[in-house]
């Protein structure tokens, strides 16, 4: 499905049973950020419905032993026929620096393009400088900080990539 992952890793579309497995690694990958409250926040951001109803545009990457190595949850906009959206992406911190996140985004770009989508959107927290740098290097255009974007106190920066203008979309 994705042929440019590092050796030992394979990708497939997720299934419902992967939901608990992905939630199970999030706390470790996020370094337990904000403790129990943080774990609840991450679970609420990633309800089971994404692993039931938006699986065909998502990816789960597993290692040789079947362990979760990375994932991408995204969907096609039902409002905007030219848009797709990346909702949540994670890579095992022990596997960072190998371009796995970039490979997953490029696979999503190809899928979105195959469905006639031109724009890919996503958001991140203003404090997440690693995520902001990652998206900018991928070719996303970053918005100014939008206060209370996802609710009171939930500031976000929004990213947009025009697949028709990006060399990465051909990757």
State the nearest-atom distance from the C-beta of 143 to its own copies, in Å: 13
Interface mask toward its own copies for 25-44; x: CB under 8 A: ------------x-xxx-xx
CA dihedral 25, 30, 31, 37 (to 10 degrees): -90
Q: How many CA within 13 A on the CB side of residue 166?
A: 22
Closest CA to 94 of 17, 8, 34: 8
State the nearest-atom distance from the C-beta of 133 to its own copies, in Å: 23
Strand 83-91 to 68-76 pairing: antiparallel
State the nearest-atom distance from the C-beta of 99 to its own copies, in Å: 27
Task: Tell me which stretch binds its own copies (CB under 8 A): 75-83, 100-108, 131-139, 163-171.
Answer: 75-83
Q: What is the 3-state secondary structure (H, E, C) of 63-112?
A: CCCCCEEEEEEEEECCCCCCEEEEEEEEECHHHCCCCHHHHHHHHHHHHH
State the nearest-atom distance from the C-beta of 141 to its own copies, in Å: 17
Q: Which is nearer to its own copies, 67 or 150 (CB)?
A: 150
User: Helix-strand-coil percent breakdown of the chain, rounded to 5?
Assistant: 35, 25, 40
Decide if residue 76 touches its own copies (CB under 8 A): yes
Q: Which is nearer to its own copies, 9 or 60 (CB)?
A: 60
Residues lying near its own copies in the complex (CB under 8 A) are found at: 20, 23, 37, 39-41, 43-49, 52-57, 75-80, 83, 85, 87, 121, 123, 148-154
């Amino acid at each position: 499905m994705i042929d440019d992952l590092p050796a030992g890793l394979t990708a497939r579309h997720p299934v419902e049973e992967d939901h608990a497995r992905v939630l199970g690694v999030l706390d470790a990958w996020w370094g337990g950020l904000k403790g129990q409250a943080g774990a609840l926040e991450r679970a609420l951001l990633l309800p089971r419905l994404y692993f039931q109803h938006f699986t065909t545009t998502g990816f789960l990457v597993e290692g040789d032993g079947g362990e979760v190595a990375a994932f991408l949850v995204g969907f096609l906009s039902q409002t905007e026929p030219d848009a797709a959206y990346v909702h949540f992406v994670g890579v095992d911190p022990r596997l960072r620096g190998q371009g796995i996140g970039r490979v997953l985004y490029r696979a999503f770009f190809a899928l979105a393009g195959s469905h006639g989508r031109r724009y890919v959107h996503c958001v991140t927290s203003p404090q997440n400088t690693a995520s902001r740098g990652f998206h900018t290097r991928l070719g996303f255009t970053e918005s100014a900080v939008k206060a209370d974007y996802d609710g009171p106190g939930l500031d976000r920066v929004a990213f947009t990539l025009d697949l028709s203008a990006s060399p990465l979309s051909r990757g």
